[in-house]
Amino acid sequence: MPKASTAGLSSGYQITEYTASSELNPNLFSTGGLIAIPILQVFEEKELGKLLENEVISIRISPENEGRAFYLLSKFCQFQSLPEHIFALRRADLRFLEEAGIPYEKIG
């Protein structure tokens, strides 16, 4: 296949200068010129629990509790603070708010 042609490619994500990998690589550290897609295979129920803990969710915190929540979360976890008192964080990190008695509302 000539490099200038995309004919015969099985995926729009393949790049004409490289050969796409036939296996899915679970990380992106060393792709060696191949396109890798991060995947997670769940074989047991306990692995599904880990997947749910790492799910990023959005919550809304009341303006009067926002300062305390921001301070607490910034000490213990990674999160995003968005407009209108919305925070995006891992589901497992909600425990910090619950232990501190800071009420929140799940969005979506």
Q: How far apart are the first and last CA of the chain?
A: 46
52 pLDDT band, cuts 50/70/90, is confident
**CATH 3.30.70 domain position(s) in the chain:** 45-107
- CATH match for 45-107 among 3.30.70, 3.40.1350, 1.10.3470, 3.40.190: 3.30.70
Percentage above 90 pLDDT, the chain: 42
The answer to which of 8-22, 28-42, 80-94 has the lowest mean pLDDT is 8-22
What is the full DSSP assignment across 49-88?
HHHHHT-EEEEE--HHHHHHHHHHHHHH--EEEETTTEEE
Is residue 105 over pLDDT 90?
A: yes
In this prediction the pTM is: 0.54
